[in-house]
Amino acid sequence: MSTASKELFEFKKRLVELRDYSGRGTELISLFITPGYPISDIAGKLREEYSQASNIKSKSTQKNVQAALEKIMAFLKTFKKPPDNGVAIFAGNVSQYEGQVDVRLFSVVPPYPLATQFYRCESKFVLEPLEDMFEH
């Protein structure tokens, strides 16, 4: 298996794994960063989101969203700039059991440059922009 096909296989495998996670309420964060976008700008936006999250009515959702944002902000500190193809970051409470917390972070460097940049909190990770890459 060539290096490129092995990377593509691993990429697809990661998407399948991420598709299986679901959150309670809108507590799973999907963050897509396009190539060359300043990490400091993203970090600033995430700090704003963190303070906005204090307005979430459900205390458990609020804690889970803030914990996921903390993980993402810490992870971004390891970057000077995004990878050449950008990066997709997913974080949230992926525990399958009510009342149990298992906040995890996953990152995916896509095989092709990301064309879309966004931040979303939903009950599932947003994977469509990555899945669309297989149509090329």
pLDDT of residue 5: 79
pLDDT of residue 1: 61
Residue whose C-alpha is closest to residue 64's, from 26, 20, 90, 106? 26
pLDDT of residue 7: 80
Rounded to the nearest 5 percent, the helix, strand and coil shares of the chain are 45, 20, 40
Measured distance CA(44)–CA(62) in Å, rounded: 19
Low-confidence ranges of the chain (pLDDT < 70): 1, 135-136
